């Protein structure tokens, strides 16, 4: 019998193989231990904040990163106003991969203006903020697509030392403050995009409420009613009354219905959500959902509600005539049904009050009806003096007298004053243009 132990111990090949196996196993253990140790240290020493693209703060963060990137690039090239250490830090953290964000605006006169900003692109970047180095990892998930916008999902992950975690709330607060400051003094218009609201174009400059001249006392009455509603949420809650309010502005075209709503929103500091009931693809469920998820401090605007349902109760045989799938009963349920939302202000407009079904404009759905007719003598005089100054009150009275007995909309008046913007006497001399055909030439002044 051969002594196996002696054989194994005296066999150089086996000894070498066993030694290599032991070394490999030892290295594997060390590798695993190092990985676990690194993970442990990372969990203990680092802290991360992830912001997905569907979160509201995502765009705020991109704006913040754009500003930080631009400041870092400027600082890196500034040789006089910074210390040597500050310049070294600025050059070390300036972003290497940039993405262009373009803002495009076409003005009323046809001219176009563009503005380019640079934001950190896909990949990892380093930001120095508040005395802390922060790694910014912007990643795009190409396997997940937003069905509504067809854009891939993105995330921005900020990582820093655990002891510096306090910078995250400061960054979010700064990003939010800057984003809100961009809209300060402006009205954001939202339109529906699938199941959500999205800003439509750039924020509009707020229009002064006094710039929309309604008949005497009308503007003040609506403003007082809206302000009273906004200030008395607790009163509604204590009495179990749904906290929502509906308004209907009706009258001929060009009498200032939409302009007044925009000016009212600006005066109150509200935004406007515009919903077209005739929009293709709009359904009862989506309508209810949109009314429920409208942005805070927004007026919901349903324009030309008379055009959405023809005839009044949208009989089945007429359903093929409309691209929208919203039914009349679906609209009524969205306004004040069991599933309707609270904390809501809705404005509806129509040029044809007589076409509206009484069920749509009953109290609870429409709480205040306001008629905006053609320009009254008061409106004519007020608009004249607003355009040409209070020194022209006598001409304003003459202008109003010349239009006595005629129906003229405020939109027509405004167009006339714009044509003669520099000469009130010329506007008075050509008052007949408001009563004639559009093909007549304007008298030379």
- pLDDT tens digits along 135-174: 888 888 766 655 545 566 788 888 888 788 888 889 888 8
State how far the alpha carbon of 85 is from the alpha carbons of 75, 78, 82, 88, 90, in Å.
12, 13, 8, 5, 9
Q: What's the mean per-residue pLDDT of the chain? A: 79
Amino acid 197: pLDDT:
87
Query: What mean pLDDT comes out for the span 407-411?
Result: 93
Amino acid 320: pLDDT:
46
DSSP track, 179-223: HHHHTTTEE-EEEEETTEEEE-SSPEEPPPGGGS--STTHHHHHH
Higher pLDDT, 393 or 178: 393
3-state secondary structure of 44: helix
Higher pLDDT, 203 or 2: 203
Q: Which residues pair with 370 in a beta bridge?
A: 249
Its pTM stands at 0.70
**Tokens describing residue 338:** 């069991």
Per-range mean pLDDT, top range of 128-137, 166-175, 241-250? 241-250
Please report which helix (H) or strand (E) contains residue 46, including its range: strand 46-52
Rg from Cα positions in the chain: 33
Residue of 169, 140, 166, 168 lying closest to 154 (CA atoms): 140
- pLDDT tens digits along 72-100: 555 555 555 555 555 555 555 555 666 66
Domain ranges of the chain: 47-182, 204-371, 377-434
> Residue 192 class from Cβ within 10 Å (0-12 exposed, 13-18 middle, 19+ buried)?
buried
Q: How far apart are CA 245 and CA 364, in angstroms?
A: 7
Q: Which residues pair with 154 in a beta bridge?
A: 140
Residue of 329, 331, 379, 371 lying closest to 350 (CA atoms): 371
Higher pLDDT, 136 or 444: 136
User: Could you tell me if 345 and 261 are in contact, meaning their C-beta atoms sit under 8 angstroms apart?
Assistant: no
User: Could you tell me if 273 and 193 are in contact, meaning their C-beta atoms sit under 8 angstroms apart?
Assistant: no
Q: Which residues pair with 247 in a beta bridge?
A: 347, 368
Q: How far apart are CA 348 and CA 369, in angstroms?
A: 10
DSSP track, 93-136: HS-SSEEEEEEEEE-TTS-EEEEEEEEE-SEEEEEEETTEEEEE
Residue of 361, 408, 365 lying closest to 250 (CA atoms): 361
Q: Which residues pair with 50 in a beta bridge?
A: 157
Mean pLDDT is lowest, of 68-77, 166-175, 284-293, 343-352, for: 68-77
State how far the alpha carbon of 20 is from the alpha carbons of 26, 27, 32, 65, 403, in Å.
10, 10, 18, 51, 107
User: Could you tell me if 352 and 252 are in contact, meaning their C-beta atoms sit under 8 angstroms apart?
Assistant: no
Sign of CA dihedral 247, 251, 254, 256: negative
Confidence of residue 318 (pLDDT cuts 50, 70, 90): very low
Confidence of residue 123 (pLDDT cuts 50, 70, 90): confident
Confidence of residue 109 (pLDDT cuts 50, 70, 90): very low
Residue of 180, 190, 276, 241 lying closest to 367 (CA atoms): 241
Q: How far apart are CA 87 and CA 157, in angstroms?
A: 26
Determine if the peptide bond prior to 224 is cis (ω within 30°): no
Amino acid 23: pLDDT:
58
Mean pLDDT is lowest, of 1-5, 170-174, 240-244, for: 1-5
Amino acid 106: pLDDT:
47
- pLDDT tens digits along 367-394: 999 999 999 999 999 999 999 999 999 9
Phi, psi of 180 (to 5 degrees): -70, -35
Residue of 273, 274, 317 lying closest to 295 (CA atoms): 273
State how far the alpha carbon of 177 is from the alpha carbons of 57, 60, 61, 172, 267, in Å.
11, 9, 11, 8, 21
Q: At what angle do helices 218-230 and 257-268 cross, to 10 degrees?
A: 40
Q: Which residues pair with 18 in a beta bridge?
A: none
The CATH class for the domain spanning 204-371 reads: alpha beta
pLDDT at residue 353 tops 90: yes
Amino acid 44: pLDDT:
64
User: Could you tell me if 273 and 198 are in contact, meaning their C-beta atoms sit under 8 angstroms apart?
Assistant: no
Q: How far apart are CA 155 and CA 311, in angstroms?
A: 49
Please report which helix (H) or strand (E) contains residue 244, including its range: strand 244-250
Amino acid 316: pLDDT:
46
Higher pLDDT, 126 or 15: 126
């Amino acid at each position: 019998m051969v002594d196996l132990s002696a054989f194994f111990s005296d066999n150089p090949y086996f000894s070498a193989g066993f030694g290599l196996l032991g070394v490999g196993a030892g290295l594997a253990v060390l590798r695993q231990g190092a990985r676990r140790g690194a993970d442990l240290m990372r969990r203990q020493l680092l802290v991360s904040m992830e912001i997905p693209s569907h979160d509201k703060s995502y765009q705020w963060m991109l704006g913040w990163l754009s500003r930080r990137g631009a400041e870092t690039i400027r600082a890196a090239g500034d040789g006089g106003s910074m210390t040597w250490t500050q310049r070294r830090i600025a050059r070390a953290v300036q972003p290497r991969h940039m993405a262009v964000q373009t803002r495009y605006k076409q003005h009323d006169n046809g001219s176009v203006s563009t503005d380019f900003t640079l934001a950190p692109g896909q990949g990892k970047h380093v930001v120095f903020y508040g005395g802390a180095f922060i790694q910014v990892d912007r990643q795009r998930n190409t396997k997940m697509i937003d069905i509504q916008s067809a854009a891939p999902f993105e995330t921005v992950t900020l990582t820093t030392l655990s002891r510096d975690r306090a910078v995250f709330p400061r960054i979010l607060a700064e990003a939010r403050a800057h984003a809100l400051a961009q809209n300060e003094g402006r009205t954001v218009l939202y339109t529906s995009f699938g199941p959500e609201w999205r800003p439509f174009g750039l924020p509009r400059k707020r229009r002064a409420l006094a710039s929309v001249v309604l008949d005497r006392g009308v503007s003040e009455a609506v403003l007082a009613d809206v302000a009273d509603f906004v200030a008395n949420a607790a009163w509604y809650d204590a009495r179990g009354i749904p906290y929502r309010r509906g308004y209907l502005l009706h009258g001929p075209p060009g009498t200032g219905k939409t302009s007044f709503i925009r000016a009212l929103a600006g005066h109150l500091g509200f935004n406007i959500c515009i919903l077209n009931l005739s929009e293709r693809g709009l359904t009862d469920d989506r309508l209810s959902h949109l009314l429920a998820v409208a942005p805070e401090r927004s007026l919901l605007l349903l324009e030309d509600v008379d055009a959405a349902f023809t005839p009044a109760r949208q009989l089945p045989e007429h359903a093929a005539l409309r691209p929208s799938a919203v039914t009349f009963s679906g609209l009524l349920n969205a306004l004040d049904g069991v599933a309707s939302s609270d904390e809501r202000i809705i404005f509806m407009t129509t040029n044809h009050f007589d076409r509206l079904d009484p069920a749509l404009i009953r109290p609870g759905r429409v709480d205040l009806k306001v008629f905006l007719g053609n320009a009254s003598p008061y409106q004519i005089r007020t608009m004249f003096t607003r355009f040409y100054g209070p020194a022209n009150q006598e001409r304003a009275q003459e202008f109003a007298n010349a239009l006595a007995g005629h129906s003229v909309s405020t939109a027509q008046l405004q167009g006339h004053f714009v044509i003669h913007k520099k000469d009130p006497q010329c506007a008075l001399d050509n008052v007949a243009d408001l009563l004639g055909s559009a093909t007549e030439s304007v008298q030379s002044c």
